[in-house]
Amino acid sequence: MPNAPEQKKFVNKHKARLEREQQQRRIMVISAIVVAALIFIVLVYGVVDQTVLKNNKAVAKVDGETIRSVDFVKQVKFTRLNMIQDALQYEQFAQYFGTDNQFTAYIEQIKSQLTLPEYVGEQVLDNMINNIIVAKYAADNGISVTEAEVDEEIRKQFGFYPNGTPTPENTATPFATSTMNPTQYAIVTATPTAEPTVVTEEVAPEEVTPEATEIPTEAVEATPAFTSTPLPTATPYTEAGFQEAYKGALENMSVTDFSDKDLRDYFRNSLLRQKVSEKITADIATEGEQIWARHILVATEEEANAVIQRLENGEDFALVAAEISLDTSNKDTGGDLNWFGKGVMDTAFEEAAYALTIGETSSAVQSQFGWHIIQLLGKEVRPLTDTQLSQEQQTMFSDWLTTEKEKYTIEKYEQIWKAIVPSEPDYTTYVNSLSQ
């Protein structure tokens, strides 16, 4: 009987220990499940973040309208491909026209920019923001682009005209050429007329070598990446041929992830910007005050003052220019700069030239190029050339866009877009792929 209480005490202790062990096991199992669940969630989030979330992250916002990372990346790749295509075409021009520093400079500039992904990315992002600003203005002013207009623009870019190739129109504005007044005649040496060369010996027809006519490089434009390869002239360019070329262009752009929809959106934005620009610049002046001047460029102020003294002593301006002017582009034509408007020359040079009266010669004028002696030959209101008018329109539209953007809240998330901006397609890799 005395041992019974001790037995009961042992049993209670045993039960308590079992319960503690069971509770500990339950805690361990629950903890293991929680840890496994957290690991699973982290893994799933990582996958989702690298796919769905990464593609939908905002790289910028314009009044709440979001520019998604997936669209940004595609646009950067598309822009890089176009830059590569431009460089390749400049290389073809350089081979065709021979060594030309202008083409070489363009090629090197493009290659340099391609090595700076963030530079290209920032340009693309700003352009995407501008597209939103333009689209908002267009919507508020009833400006739109139809699908038919997009179709027509794409066909035009591929050189396909179902209704026949349009006839180029002469856009130059005709105007009466001014006649030099007595003051101008007194100061400008008339351009001598070339005397016909007398041939003393008969030249056989086969000995005459025709001279090649130089094609001005200014007329050459780079072909965008989406332009199709021209078909042989003997093959009619039919709808089927166009569709095949368009399909080939899309395949060529596969490195950019651009789809048919993306390409159509690209052309739609381009047309919309063109229409808005036409509205903004509708009232732009098509003529402006221009001056006709000539100059002599020297390195120092002392040299410039010496030139002025020579002119005051009666020496001919054109002859002095041909002798000592450092501006090799016009020294042999008496330093003649022809007619030009505002915004073309160095600011100091322009201000001095516009301040002169016809026939007046300036004092020494310093610019970033050296010291000038300027003589004004003419001043009048003249129609702008096509190039001048285009430049004026671009400037006006750019100024408008800058002002228009101030109306909106624009946010650019640099840490996000800089982390994902692509560095492909790469120039060297892409060129190598063409030869494979």
CATH of the domain at 314: 3.10.50.40
Q: What is the band of 45 on the pLDDT scale with cuts at 50, 70, 90? A: low
Cα 289-291-292 angle, rounded to 5 deg: 150
pLDDT at 186 over 60: no
Among 130, 63, 121, 132, smallest CA distance to 415 is for: 121
Neighbouring residues of 209: CB distance < 8 A, sequence distance ≥ 6: none
Q: What is the band of 192 on the pLDDT scale with cuts at 50, 70, 90? A: very low
Whether residues 79 and 119 share a domain: the answer is yes
pLDDT of residue 103: 86
Separation of alpha carbons 3 and 8, rounded Å: 9
Whether residues 238 and 133 share a domain: the answer is yes
Residue 198 lies in a domain: no
pLDDT > 90: what percent of the chain?
59
Whether residues 322 and 406 share a domain: the answer is no
Whether residues 36 and 76 share a domain: the answer is no
Q: Which domain does 379 fall in, by range?
A: 289-383
Task: Give, for 72, the enclosing helix (H) or strand (E).
Answer: helix 69-97
Residue 179 lies in a domain: no
Q: Are 90 and 103 in contact (CB under 8 A)?
A: yes
Among 383, 420, 354, 323, smallest CA distance to 68 is for: 420
Q: Is 27 or 178 the better-scoring residue by pLDDT?
A: 27
* Interval 348-371 mean pLDDT: 96
Residue 203 lies in a domain: no
Q: What is the band of 217 on the pLDDT scale with cuts at 50, 70, 90? A: very low
Whether residues 118 and 150 share a domain: the answer is yes
Neighbours of 419 (CB within 10 A): 12
pLDDT at 203 over 60: no
Q: What is the band of 56 on the pLDDT scale with cuts at 50, 70, 90? A: confident
Whether residues 82 and 137 share a domain: the answer is yes
**How deeply is 77 buried, as exposed, middle or buried, from its count of CB atoms within 10 A (0-12, 13-18, 19+)?**
buried
Distance from chain centroid for Cα 357: 39
Enter the tokens of residue 422. Answer: 């692509």
Q: What is the band of 93 on the pLDDT scale with cuts at 50, 70, 90? A: confident
pLDDT at 351 over 70: yes
User: What single DSSP character describes residue 361?
Assistant: B
Phi and psi at residue 13, to the nearest 5°: -65, -40
pLDDT at 357 over 80: yes
- Top-ranked range on mean pLDDT: pick from 22-26, 50-54, 111-115, 228-232: 111-115
pLDDT at 3 over 60: no
Task: Give, for 390, the enclosing helix (H) or strand (E).
Answer: helix 386-405
Whether residues 95 and 143 share a domain: the answer is yes
pLDDT of residue 36: 73
Residue 199 lies in a domain: no
Q: What is the band of 305 on the pLDDT scale with cuts at 50, 70, 90? A: very high
Among 221, 200, 232, 195, smallest CA distance to 85 is for: 221
Among 225, 223, 224, smallest CA distance to 254 is for: 225
Among 316, 268, 264, 275, smallest CA distance to 294 is for: 316
Enter the tokens of residue 24. Answer: 């500990």
Domains contained in the chain, number? 3
- Choose the weakest-confidence range: 58-67, 278-287, 343-352, 384-393: 384-393
pLDDT of residue 228: 43
Given 383, 399, 424, the domain boundary residue is: 383
Condensed to tens digits (0 to 9), the pLDDT of residues 57-86 reads 999 999 989 999 999 999 999 999 999 999
Residue 110 lies in a domain: yes
Separation of alpha carbons 58 and 64, rounded Å: 10
Condensed to tens digits (0 to 9), the pLDDT of residues 103-151 reads 888 999 999 999 999 999 999 999 999 999 999 999 999 999 999 999 9
Whether residues 407 and 305 share a domain: the answer is no
What's the whole-number average pLDDT of the chain?
A: 82
Q: What share of the chain is helix, strand, coil (3-state, %, to 5)?
A: 55, 10, 30
Whether residues 294 and 425 share a domain: the answer is no
pLDDT of residue 436: 72
Diameter over CA atoms, the chain: 158
Distance from chain centroid for Cα 68: 22
Residue 201 lies in a domain: no
Q: Are 120 and 79 in contact (CB under 8 A)?
A: yes
pLDDT of residue 79: 97
Whether residues 254 and 394 share a domain: the answer is yes
pLDDT of residue 200: 36
Condensed to tens digits (0 to 9), the pLDDT of residues 224-277 reads 444 444 444 445 578 889 999 999 999 989 899 999 999 999 999 999 999 999
Residue 214 lies in a domain: no
* Beta partners for residue 415, in sequence order: none
Residue 219 lies in a domain: no
Sheet order of strands, 365-367 included: 336-340, 287-298, 370-383, 365-367
Q: What is the band of 207 on the pLDDT scale with cuts at 50, 70, 90? A: very low
Whether residues 296 and 436 share a domain: the answer is no
Whether residues 244 and 334 share a domain: the answer is no
Q: Is 212 or 168 the better-scoring residue by pLDDT?
A: 168
Among 50, 77, 74, 34, smallest CA distance to 262 is for: 74
pLDDT of residue 174: 53
* Interval 356-374 mean pLDDT: 96
pLDDT of residue 231: 44
